[in-house]
C-alpha cells in the first residue's frame, strides 16, 4: 500500500519530529510523539511500548527523519527495531492523513467510535487494552465484559466482569474493542485469529490514524482514530501536560462507508 501511494502521489517531506522528554512517560502526554510533514499534516507516534520513549531521545534519531520522504520511514517497519516500528507507524499515519485531506474525503468527526457500537445485556464484550470510560459504562449496565491483559497481577473474575491472560476467551465475545497499539507489537494478526469471524470488531486509539484497508480486509468493522489539525497547538498542550481537547479530533471509519485507498488516490491524481 505504501509503495503504491509513493509511486502515485507526491508526498510532502517530514518537517519535524517532536519527542516528549523521558519524565513525561508518567502522563498521557508522554505516550505520543508528533511527526509533522511540510504541509502541516501530522502523524502520531506511540512511544510507550517497552523502552521506546527512552531510546528515542537521541537527537540524531529525530534529526535523521527530517527532510525524508515519509514513505521511506514507513517502509522501515519491515525487519526494523522498536524505534523503527514506532516511527514507521507515525509516518504511515501522516501519509494516511495527507491522503484523507488531499482527496477531499470527509472524516466523520460527529460519531464517537465507542458510541457507534450498540451494547446490550445479551452481548459479551471483549476488550484488548483498557478503555476506562467504556469499562465503567458496561459494568454499570451489567453487560458481560472480558478484558485481555498481559499482567498476571491484574487477573480478576467477578460477575459479568473478567480480566484474563487467555486470548482464547475472545472467541466467546460477539463484540470486541481492540487498542491500535496491537499493530505496533505485531499481535493484531494473532488476536484477530482468536476472534469469532461473526464478531463485530473495532480498532481504536490515537495511533489508529491510518488508512484502514488491511484491517477491514481482515474482518475489522470499525476504526477510530484522531486527527491533529494544528501540530503547534497540540505540541504546546502536550508540553503543558494539558488535555488534548480540540487540538485532537476523534473520528470514525466504518467498512461500509470507506471507499478504499486506491479510490482516494484516484481523486488526487485525476
Q: Would residue 86 count as lying in a domain?
A: yes
Question: Structurally, how many domains does the chain consist of?
Answer: 1
Domain that holds residue 65: 2-106+230-245+261-269
Q: Would residue 74 count as lying in a domain?
A: yes
Q: Would residue 60 count as lying in a domain?
A: yes
- Go through 29-41 and write b for each residue having 16 or more CB atoms within 10 A of its CB, e for each that does not: bbbbbbbbbeebb
The residue among 185, 226, 221, 227 whose CA lies nearest residue 203 is 221
pTM: 0.91
Note the pLDDT tens digit of each residue in 144-178: 999 999 888 989 999 999 999 999 999 999 999 99
Note the pLDDT tens digit of each residue in 37-85: 999 999 999 887 766 666 676 667 777 899 999 999 999 877 667 888 8
pLDDT score for 50: 65
Q: Would residue 166 count as lying in a domain?
A: no
Q: Would residue 254 count as lying in a domain?
A: no
Cβ neighbours for 110, distance < 8 A, ≥ 6 positions apart? none
Please, are residues 203 and 178 in contact by the beta-carbon 8 Å criterion?
yes
Q: Would residue 159 count as lying in a domain?
A: no
Q: Would residue 44 count as lying in a domain?
A: yes
**Rounded to whole angstroms, how far apart are CA atoms 168 and 243?**
36
Q: CATH no. for residue 52?
A: 3.30.390.100
Q: Would residue 93 count as lying in a domain?
A: yes
* Beta-bridge partner residues of 32: 46
Q: What is the DSSP string of 14-26?
A: EEEEE---GGGGG
Amino acid at each position: 500500500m505504501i509503495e503504491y501511494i509513493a509511486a502515485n502521489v507526491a508526498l510532502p517531506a517530514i518537517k519535524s519530529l517532536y519527542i516528549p522528554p523521558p519524565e513525561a512517560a508518567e502522563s498521557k502526554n508522554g505516550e505520543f510523539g508528533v511527526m509533522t510533514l511540510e504541509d502541516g499534516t501530522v502523524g502520531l507516534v506511540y512511544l510507550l511500548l517497552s523502552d521506546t520513549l527512552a531510546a528515542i531521545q537521541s537527537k540524531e534519531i529525530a534529526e535523521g527523519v527530517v527532510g525524508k520522504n515519509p514513505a521511506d520511514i514507513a517502509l522501515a517497519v519491515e525487519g526494523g527495531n522498536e524505534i523503527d516500528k514506532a516511527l514507521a507507524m507515525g509516518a504511515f499515519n501522516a501519509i494516511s492523513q495527507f491522503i484523507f485531506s488531499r482527496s477531499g474525503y470527509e472524516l466523520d468527526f460527529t460519531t464517537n467510535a465507542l458510541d457507534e457500537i450498540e451494547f446490550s445485556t445479551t452481548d459479551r464484550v471483549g476488550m484488548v487494552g483498557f478503555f476506562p470510560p467504556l469499562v465503567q459504562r458496561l459494568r454499570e449496565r451489567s453487560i458481560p465484559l472480558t478484558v485481555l491483559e498481559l499482567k498476571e497481577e491484574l487477573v480478576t473474575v467477578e460477575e459479568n466482569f473478567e480480566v484474563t491472560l487467555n486470548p482464547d476467551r475472545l472467541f466467546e465475545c460477539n463484540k470486541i474493542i481492540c487498542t491500535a497499539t496491537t499493530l505496533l507489537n505485531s499481535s493484531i494478526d494473532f488476536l484477530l485469529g482468536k476472534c469469532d469471524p461473526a464478531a463485530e470488531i473495532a480498532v481504536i486509539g490515537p495511533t489508529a490514524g491510518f488508512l484502514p484497508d488491511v484491517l477491514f480486509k481482515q474482518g475489522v468493522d470499525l476504526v477510530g482514530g484522531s486527527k491533529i489539525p494544528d501540530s503547534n497547538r497540540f505540541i504546546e498542550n502536550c508540553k503543558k501536560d494539558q488535555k488534548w481537547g480540540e487540538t485532537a479530533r476523534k473520528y470514525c471509519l466504518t467498512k461500509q462507508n470507506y471507499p478504499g485507498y486506491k479510490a482516494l488516490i484516484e481523486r488526487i491524481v485525476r
